[in-house]
Amino acid sequence: MSFLEKIRPFKEAEAEVLRARYRVTQPRRPEPWPVRDFAGAVSGGGKLIAEIKFKSPSHPEFRQDIAPATLAAVYQRHGAAALSIVTDRANFGTSLDDIASLREASDLPVIAKDFIIDPAQVRAAWEAGADAILLIARMLDTTMIDHLLEVTRKLGLATLVECHDQADLAMAQNAGADLVGVNNRNLATLTTDLRHGGALLPLIPPGVTRVSESGLNSRSDILTMTDLGADAFLVGHALLLSRDPGRKVAELCGRLPETGIRVKVCGITNPADAILASQSGADMVGVIFANSPRRAEPDRIGEIRAALPMTRLCGVFMDQDLEEVADAAARFELDMVQLHGSESPGYCRELSAKVGLPLIKVLRPDEVTVEKVNDYEAAAYFMVDLPKGTRSQPGPAEAARAARIISDRGRDVFLAGALTPDNVAAGIRTAAPYAVDVASGVEKSQGVKDPDLVQAFCKETRT
C-alpha cells in the first residue's frame, strides 16, 4: 500500500471535522493577510520554493527543530522566491497553525502542502493564511480536481497540481492547471530519480509554469532540470538536512559557489567597509559584539545589515550571556553566530536550539581533538584560529592537523589568525579550509579596512 493510500482515511476524517465546523461558522481570513502572488513569484525561471517541515516519513532519521519563522527569514535573505510548508502535523510535524508565523517573518508567498481531497481543506488553508495549495493528481478524480480548482480560484489562491506520470499530466491539463509540479519521487518506494521527472517535464504544454519537486540536492541538479524545462524548484530535504540551510539555499540559487574557498572579512565597523568587502568578493562579513577594539556599535550594525540585506552577516561573541546573543541574532537578522570564547557544548546546544542559526566554534589548533569535535555537535563549523604574536605558538602544520581532524568528522573549517594577502594562499594550501577569515590583515588602521588589501586578499584566496 502506498503512502497516499495509507493517509487517505486520515484526511477523510480531517475533512469531515472541517465540514462540521464550517456548517456552524464560515471560514474567515484575517484582514491583514492579503493573498500574495505565489504564481507570479515562481514564474520566470530559476525560482526556488524552500520547504519547511520537522520530520518526514521518507527519511525517518530526519528531525528539524529550527522554528519555522526563523527558517522563513533565512530562506528569504538567501534567495528563495516562495515558501512551502507541509501542513500534516502527524507525519511531518508542521501544520496550518505555523503559517501565521511565516507571514510575520517573511514577505514571501506560502504554499500549504497537504493531502487535499475535499474543499473544506482548501478553505482551511485559505483561512490559515496560505497563498497557494497543493493538489496531488493521484489522489483525485476528474470531477474533484475540477471542483477543487474552482474553489481555489474563487478564494484567490494559486494551485500547484502535482503529477507523477503522464495520466496525471493529462488530468492537470484537462483541468486547466497553470502551475504543474512533476515529482521525482516514486510514491511506492519513496525514492527519488531525476530521470523520472526529466522525462515528464517536456510534456507540459507552453504557458504552464513547471515545477520540479523532490531529489534536488545540488546546483547541477537545478541546472539539469532547468535545461529540461523546469521554471521553479521545490526543495525540502536538501535544505533541512544541511547544518546551514541558508547557505544551501544560496548555493542552489547560484548566489554562493558550491566549491572553492570562501572569504569572511571580519571586524567590520561601518557600512562602507561592509560594501567594500562584498564588492571585492567576500562571501561573509563579520561584526564583533564582544569586547574588542573592533567592536561595532549597534547603530552601525543596523546600517550594515540595511546596506547589505542579502549578504551573509556573522556576529562574533565571546562568553556572553545566551539571551544577549539570541537577542542580537534576532535584532540584526544575523545569518551565522561565531563563538570565540570558552562556550561549552551545552551552551552551544542551547543557543543553537534557540536561534536556529549555524554556529562557528573557534578553537586553537592545540585544542582540536576528535573528542572535542564530537562534543560540539551543535556547531555547524569550526574555526581554527592561529594565535598571534610569538614564534613558539602553533603554526601552519598544527593548523593543518587540526583542520584534518575537523574535516574528517564531516565539518567545514574556517582558517583564521594573522592572515594577510601575502600568506593566505600558503595557508589554504596547507590547511585546505572551507573558508578563510581576515580582520587586521586588511586594515589601514584599527577597525578601518584598506580597499587595496581587501581586494588583494580576496584575489589571492581564489588564485
Give yes or no: residues 201 and 302 share one domain: no
Query: Is 20 inside a domain boundary?
Result: yes
Grid coordinates representing 62 are 530526519
Give yes or no: residues 202 and 312 share one domain: no
| Mean pLDDT of the 176-200 span | 88
Give yes or no: residues 456 and 340 share one domain: yes
Beta-strand relationship, 82-86 and 158-163: unpaired
Number of compact structural domains in the chain: 2
Give yes or no: residues 210 and 283 share one domain: no
53 is catalytic: yes
Query: Is 257 inside a domain boundary?
Result: no
Is residue 255 scored above 70 in pLDDT? yes
pLDDT band, very low/low/confident/very high, at 389 (cuts 50, 70, 90): low
Query: Is 402 inside a domain boundary?
Result: yes
What does the buried/exposed string (b/e) look like for 270-286 if buried means 16 or more CB atoms within 10 Å of the residue's CB?
bbebbbbbbebbbbbbb
Query: Is 316 inside a domain boundary?
Result: yes
Q: Among the options 43, 84, 95, 183, which is catalytic?
A: 183
What is residue 391's predicted lDDT score, i.e. its pLDDT? 46
Is residue 101 scored above 80 in pLDDT? yes
Q: Among the options 55, 113, 248, 361, which is catalytic?
A: 113
270 is catalytic: no
What is residue 388's predicted lDDT score, i.e. its pLDDT? 67
Domain coverage including residue 11: 3-252
51 is catalytic: yes
Give yes or no: residues 81 and 182 share one domain: yes
Task: Examine the fold and report which residue of 191, 225, 252 is the final residue of a domain before the chain moves on.
Answer: 252
6 is catalytic: no
Is residue 390 scored above 60 in pLDDT? no
- Average pLDDT for the chain: 94
Q: What is the pLDDT of residues 303-323, one digit of tens each?
A: 999 999 989 999 999 999 999
Task: Examine the fold and report which residue of 195, 220, 252 is the final residue of a domain before the chain moves on.
Answer: 252
Give yes or no: residues 231 and 357 share one domain: no
| β-strand partners of 163 | 182
Max Cα-Cα span within the chain: 79
Task: Examine the fold and report which residue of 230, 252, 274 is the final residue of a domain before the chain moves on.
Answer: 252
Percent of the chain that is helix, strand, coil (3-state, to 5)? 45, 20, 40
What is residue 229's predicted lDDT score, i.e. its pLDDT? 95
What is residue 191's predicted lDDT score, i.e. its pLDDT? 80
Is residue 109 scored above 50 in pLDDT? yes
16 is catalytic: no
Grid coordinates representing 449 are 579596512
Q: Among the options 53, 55, 361, 449, which is catalytic?
A: 53
Give yes or no: residues 280 and 299 share one domain: yes
DSSP annotation of 344: -
What is residue 397's predicted lDDT score, i.e. its pLDDT? 84
Q: Among the options 84, 95, 212, 214, which is catalytic?
A: 214
pLDDT band, very low/low/confident/very high, at 182 (cuts 50, 70, 90): very high
Predicted TM-score (pTM) of this structure: 0.93
What is residue 392's predicted lDDT score, i.e. its pLDDT? 45
CB 435 within 8 A of CB 403: no
pLDDT band, very low/low/confident/very high, at 167 (cuts 50, 70, 90): very high
Residues in CB range of 331: below 8 A, 6 or more apart: none
What is residue 319's predicted lDDT score, i.e. its pLDDT? 98
Give yes or no: residues 390 and 457 share one domain: yes
What is residue 394's predicted lDDT score, i.e. its pLDDT? 52
Backbone angles phi, psi at 284, to 5 degrees: -145, 150
Query: CA–CA separation, 182 vs 196, rounded Å?
Result: 9
Query: CA–CA separation, 74 vs 4, rounded Å?
Result: 31
Residue 66: give its domain's CATH number. 3.20.20.70
Q: What angle do CA 232, 333, 108 make, to 5 degrees?
A: 30
Amino acid at 73: A
Reduced to 3 states, what is the DSSP secondary structure of residue 47? strand
Is residue 267 scored above 50 in pLDDT? yes
388 is catalytic: no
CB 327 within 8 A of CB 319: no
Is residue 273 scored above 60 in pLDDT? yes
Give yes or no: residues 339 and 368 share one domain: yes
Q: Quote the percentage of the chain above a pLDDT of 70.
A: 98
What is residue 188's predicted lDDT score, i.e. its pLDDT? 66
How distant is the alpha carbon of residue 410 from its chain centre? 19
Q: Quote the percentage of the chain above a pLDDT of 90.
A: 88
Is residue 131 scored above 60 in pLDDT? yes
Is residue 187 scored above 80 in pLDDT? no
Which helix or strand (DSSP H or E) is residue 15 part of? helix 3-24
What is residue 56's predicted lDDT score, i.e. its pLDDT? 84
162 is catalytic: yes
Query: CA–CA separation, 300 vs 336, rounded Å?
Result: 18
Backbone angles phi, psi at 264, to 5 degrees: -120, 120
